[in-house]
Structure 1
Amino acid sequence: MNRKHFLSFLITAGATTTVSKATSVVSDFSEKTSRIPPYLKKGDTIGITSPASFIDLENVQPAVQLIQSWGFNTKIGATIGKRDFILGGNDAERTEDLQLMLDDPNIKAIMCARGGYGIVRIIDQLDFTKFKRNPKWIIGFSDITLLHNHIYTNFGIASIHSKMCNSFPKVWPEALPIQIETILSIKQVINGEPVRYTAPYNSNNRNGRVEGTLVGGNLSLIETAAGTCSDIVTDGKILFLEDTEEQLYSLDRMLWNLKRSGKFDKLKGLIIGGFRLKPDPEGEEFSKTLQEIILEKIKEYDYPVCFDFPVGHQINNFALKCGAPHTLNIDQNGSSLTSI
């Protein structure tokens, strides 16, 4: 074989190997079944860390006190109170703190103190070897979406999409009923209690009843993970989406990304949670509403869809088990999502 043909062979073989490997990995991810971490019992310890944006000790105390009143112990991570500009400590500090909690067999769940930004900077430095052998609940939402989806995509392990420490009311007796209900939903889930959430009827809904594994979270973070090892496979899944402080054109762009990458093609069902919109500048308004943007992307599919589900950057943000089986039912009375 001459040099020219040899180099051509190497390039072709290398490209073939890469494509084959990627295809194999995606196939493996899509076939994973859910692994449910052990539910907690009284006396178990919940670690509190800040792997994304910063938070001080004072602002995690309401969560610490309430969690302890539930009968659990707490362990405050070294990142609580640390700050590196917007982050909860520098990358090395946040990685080390989360790693210690992932590896510690005495910690049975990890609650992220807040979201914001930062997980993408450390996700590839984390070692999940011990976590895979002894799974534990990871709790949080917003930026923590990347961590949820990375864990389920790579290891098939369920986690909890829910409010975090910065959302716990400072004075519990003065909290609104919906605040109390959503915070208590975290306790229900980590205790292994059955949960069922409902949403009112919306004229944009599509009726139907399906069973499937629940995946999803913050739309911006799902788009951020596209094409990486933290991407999610949505085939045969119930997908839920939420976001905040985005303009309509930006949401349209991100949803086109999901459509073009096939994430809407083979869904069992679609749940649209809270979308707190950033107003368009005067004179630069987008031509469609949020509902129109979403329905445009899924017009050729017939799976059930519900709007206004109580999840997202809003007060009615209930705890959901990502990577776990659920039943979604949508009819003329509204929507319900029930853990199986």
Structure 2
Amino acid sequence: MEWIVAPAVKAGDRVAIIAPASPVSVDLLEAGIAVLRSWDLVPVVHPQVWSKQGYLAGSDEERADALVGVLDDPSIAAVVCAQGGYGCTRLLELLPISRIGAHNLPSKRFFGFSDITALHSLMRVAVPGYVSFYAPMLATSYFAKSTELSRESLRLSMFAPNLQSACPPLKGRCLQMGRARSTNGVVSGRLVGGNLTVFTNCLATPWQEDMERCILILEDGLLSFILALHQFSLQ
């Protein structure tokens, strides 16, 4: 399969911000926007970001239209999700695969994690080989007010000219004390996965991406190996 990697972001580029899941914290988002500006980027906050409908950042239609709108805007170089939470799986039936594939997705880098897993799967089904980035989001405390590692991770993913420099080796870095370990050996393959709950909910649906000869990476707040096996066995 041929990889489709959108051009790297450069100083002066317009970067769209959407909220396809839960409502955002205004303070955290403004702090995240300030980080983008410090990188000489031009944040473009879609009006939908400020919407709120219960536990969602606006109606399903609003959030789906926001995604399509920024993908269809030729002036936008990249799309960054403000935060996750809940709601992206509700958008899948409103975003036909052909509709996403027909837009300018291959020309833009897309960033987000957690609930955004559903959109990553959708995009890679719509455009086989498209590389999206499971990366930090702006309106999260880790990014806006905490670790420099989170900011550097997003910056590299945005500005790096190729995948090797966008995703540097993790050798020698502890991902989570006492829970991450490395073993000898080398494997290669496409990286798929994301949030355990969202990813398993996409299995056996039109939005399940090709998993043949892949490397599966999962995250979840209460993830355990036994739980992961149970989730997959249910599917």
Q: TM-score range by the shorter chain?
A: 0.7 to 0.9
CA distance in 2, matches of 1:204, 1:114: 28
- Shift of the 76–196 alpha-carbon distance from structure 1 to 2, 3 Å rule, reads same
Give the match for residue 226 of structure 1: 203
Q: Give the structure, 1 or 2, with the largest relative contact order (CA under 8 Å, sep 6 or more).
A: 2
TM-score by length of 2: 0.84
- 8 Å CA contact 1:53, 1:114 repeated in 2: yes
- 8 Å CA contact 2:89, 2:118 repeated in 1: yes
Give the match for residue 197 of structure 1: 170
Give the match for residue 75 of structure 2: 106
Give 2:151's aligned amino acid.
I
Give the SS at the match of 1:165.
coil
- Shift of the 54–171 alpha-carbon distance from structure 1 to 2, 3 Å rule, reads closer
Q: How does 1:43-192 map to 2 (within 5 A)?
A: 43-126=12-95, 127-128=99-100, 129-132=102-105, 134-155=106-127, 156-168=129-141, 175=146, 179-192=147-160
- 8 Å CA contact 1:62, 1:168 repeated in 2: no
Structure number with larger C-alpha Rg: 1
Cα distance per residue 1:283-336 (max 9 Å; x no partner):
xxxxxxxxxxxxxxxxxxxxxxxxxxxxxxxxxxxxxxxxxxxxxxxxxxxxxx
Q: CA deviation at 1:256?
A: 2.5
CA distance in 1, matches of 2:133, 2:125: 15
- 8 Å CA contact 2:15, 2:43 repeated in 1: yes
* Structure 1, gaps ≥5 residues long: 1-31, 259-340
Structure holding more strand per residue: 1
Q: CA deviation at 1:153?
A: 2.6
CA distance in 1, matches of 2:58, 2:184: 46
- 8 Å CA contact 2:143, 2:150 repeated in 1: no
Q: CA deviation at 1:252?
A: 4.1
- Shift of the 253–105 alpha-carbon distance from structure 1 to 2, 3 Å rule, reads same
Give 1:239's aligned amino acid.
L
RMSD of aligned Cα (Å): 2.5
CA distance in 1, matches of 2:180, 2:44: 46
CA distance in 1, matches of 2:185, 2:143: 40
CA distance in 2, matches of 1:204, 1:165: 28
The alignment-based identity, stated in percent, is 27
Q: CA deviation at 1:76?
A: 0.6
Q: How does 1:5-20 map to 2 (within 5 A)?
A: none
Give 1:152's aligned amino acid.
R
Q: CA deviation at 1:249?
A: 6.7
Which among 213, 219, 225 is matched to residue 242 of structure 1?
Answer: 219
